[in-house]
C-alpha cells in the first residue's frame, strides 16, 4: 500500500519544489480545502433538515437549496479571509465584488472568483453538487481593487479547480502544472491524493448537453448533436457542470452549453464556471472553446458576471466539433 499524501502535504511539497514560491498561494489553497470540508459536512445533512430542525429551515425544500447556496458562500468567504492573501472575491451569489478585511500588515496577492454551490437545483434530490474556484493575481498592487482587477484572461489565472460533493467528495485543482485529484477520507477528515496527474482520454463515449433545449440551439449545434446521436454516443446530463465535467475528465467525452433563445450569450459564467473548469480540462490535455470557436482561456472578460457559451472535453472530440461547425457554416454560405 502506498503512503497517504494529504492535500496540505501535497501543496506544501509542491511549493518547496518552486524556488520562486512565497507560500502565499499555499495558504489560499489550504483555506479552500478547509471551506470544502465545512460545505461538505452541511451538504451531507441536506436531506435531514426537516428532521433535525435546523434553524430557519421551515419545511420548504426550495428554501433549503437557497440556504445551502448562501451557507457555502459564507463559509468560502470566511475561510478565504483567514490568510490575508486574498483582497477580494467575486461570487455568483453577490452582485458586487466583496472586499476582504486586511489581516495584520499582510499585503494581499490574490483575488478569487467562485461559484460556491454549482448545480444547486440538485440539492434537494440528493444529486451531486460542487464548488468552483479560480485564483487570480493582483496585477497592479498599487491600484484599488475594482471589478476591472478581475477582468483577466483565463490564461493568466494562477490556479483553478473544483470540489465535487458526490458519492465521495473530491477536490481537483491545477496551478498550471498538471491536474491532481484528492478524495476526502471522512474517517480522518483529510483530502488524500487519490488521482495524481489526471489525463483526459482523447475521446470518450459520452456527450453531455441539455438536449431539452435542442430546438432552441443554432442549426449547426443541432446538426452536431444529431451527429453525436449517429455515432451512438451516450447522453449524460446531470445539470451540475462540476459533475458532468468530472465524469468527462475521467471517462472522456464532450460537454456543451451553447447559446439558446433564453441565454443568447450562453448560461454559464465565464469567470467562475467556464475559466476554472477550462483550466483544469486543458491542463489534463483537453480543450475548451466557445460556440464562436474561441479558446475560453483567451477570452478577455468585460464584466465580472459575464456569461459564455462552452464546448469542453476530450481534445479529439472538441476538434471534431470545431471542424463540424466550420464545415457546416461553410456549406451554408456556398
Q: Which residues bind ligand AHG (CB under 6 A)?
A: 92, 115, 118-120, 210, 239-241, 267
| Residues assigned a catalytic role | 63, 69, 92-93, 115, 117-118, 273
According to CB under 5 A, which one of 26, 31, 43, 92 is a site residue for Mn ion? 92
Q: How far is the CB of 235 from ligand AHG (least distance, A)?
A: 13
The least CB distance from residue 277 to Mn ion, in Å, is 10
C-alpha distance from residue 15 to each of 50, 209, 264 (Å): 44, 38, 42
Q: 267 is in the binding site of which of Mn ion, ligand AHG, none (Cβ under 5 to 8 A by kind)?
A: ligand AHG
- 47's contact among Mn ion, ligand AHG, none, with CB below 5 to 8 A by partner kind, is none
Grid coordinates representing 286?
483537453
User: Which one of 85, 115, 244, 282 is in contact with Mn ion (CB under 5 A)?
Assistant: 115
Cα 138 to the center of its chain, rounded Å: 20
| 147, 115 Cβ separation under 8 angstroms | no
Helices (H), 189-306: 219-230, 241-251, 275-283
Between the alpha carbon of residue 31 and those of residues 34, 80, 168, 300, the distances in Å are 5, 6, 20, 28
Cβ–Cβ under 8 Å, residues 8 and 33: yes
User: Binding to Mn ion by residue 244, rule CB under 5 A?
Assistant: no
* Binding partner selected for residue 210 from Mn ion, ligand AHG, none, CB under the kind-specific 5 to 8 Å limit: ligand AHG
Q: Closer to ligand AHG at the Cβ: 7 or 308?
A: 308
Based on CB atoms, which residue is closest to Mn ion, 31 or 69?
A: 69
d(CA 162, CA 12): 19
Q: 119 vs 201, which CB is nearer to ligand AHG?
A: 119
User: Which of ligand AHG, Mn ion, none interacts with 240 (beta carbon under 5 to 8 A by kind)?
Assistant: ligand AHG
**Ranges assigned E (strand) in the chain:** 86-91, 98-99, 110-118, 129-137, 159-165, 169-174, 179-185, 190-195, 206-208, 234-235, 254-257, 268-269, 287-289, 307-308, 310-313
Cβ nearer to ligand AHG, comparing 22 with 121: 121
Collect all residues with Cβ–Cβ distance below 8 Å to 231 and sequence separation of at least 6. none
| Contact of residue 239 among ligand AHG, Mn ion, none (CB under 5-8 Å per partner type) | ligand AHG
Q: Which is nearer to Mn ion, 148 or 236 (CB)?
A: 236
The residue ranges that bind Mn ion (CB under 5 A) are 92, 115, 117-118
Amino acid at each position: 500500500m502506498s503512503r497517504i499524501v494529504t492535500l496540505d502535504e501535497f501543496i506544501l511539497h509542491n511549493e518547496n519544489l518552486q524556488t520562486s514560491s512565497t507560500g502565499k498561494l499555499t495558504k489560499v489553497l489550504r483555506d479552500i480545502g478547509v471551506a470544502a470540508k465545512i460545505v461538505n459536512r452541511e451538504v451531507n445533512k441536506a436531506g435531514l433538515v426537516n428532521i433535525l430542525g435546523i434553524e430557519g429551515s421551515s419545511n420548504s425544500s426550495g428554501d433549503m437549496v437557497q440556504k445551502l447556496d448562501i451557507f457555502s458562500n459564507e463559509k468560502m468567504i470566511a475561510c478565504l479571509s483567514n490568510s490575508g492573501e486574498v483582497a477580494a472575491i467575486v461570487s455568483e451569489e453577490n452582485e458586487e465584488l466583496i472586499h476582504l478585511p486586511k489581516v495584520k500588515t499582510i499585503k494581499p496577492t490574490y483575488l478569487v472568483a467562485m461559484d460556491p454551490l454549482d448545480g444547486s437545483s440538485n440539492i434537494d434530490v440528493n444529486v451531486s453538487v460542487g464548488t468552483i474556484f479560480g485564483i487570480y493575481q493582483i496585477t497592479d498592487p498599487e491600484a484599488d481593487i475594482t471589478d476591472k482587477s478581475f477582468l483577466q484572461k483565463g490564461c493568466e489565472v494562477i490556479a483553478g479547480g473544483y470540489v465535487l460533493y458526490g458519492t465521495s467528495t473530491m477536490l481537483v485543482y491545477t496551478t498550471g502544472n498538471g491536474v491532481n485529484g484528492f478524495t476526502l477520507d471522512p474517517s480522518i477528515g483529510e483530502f488524500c491524493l487519490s488521482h495524481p496527474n489526471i489525463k483526459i482520454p482523447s475521446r470518450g463515449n459520452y456527450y453531455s448537453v441539455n438536449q431539452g433545449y435542442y430546438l432552441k440551439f443554432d442549426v449547426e449545434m443541432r446538426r452536431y448533436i444529431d451527429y453525436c446521436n449517429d455515432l451512438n454516443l451516450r447522453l449524460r446530463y446531470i445539470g451540475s457542470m462540476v459533475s458532468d465535467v468530472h465524469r468527462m475528465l475521467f471517462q472522456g467525452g464532450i460537454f456543451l452549453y451553447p447559446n439558446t433563445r433564453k441565454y443568447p450569450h450562453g448560461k454559464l459564467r465565464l469567470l467562475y464556471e467556464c475559466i476554472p473548469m477550462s483550466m483544469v480540462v486543458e491542463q489534463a490535455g483537453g480543450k475548451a472553446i466557445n460556440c464562436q470557436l474561441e479558446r475560453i482561456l483567451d477570452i478577455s472578460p468585460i464584466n465580472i458576471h459575464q456569461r459564455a457559451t462552452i464546448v469542453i472535453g476530450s481534445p479529439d472530440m472538441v476538434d471534431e466539433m470545431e471542424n463540424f461547425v466550420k464545415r457546416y457554416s461553410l456549406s451554408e454560405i456556398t
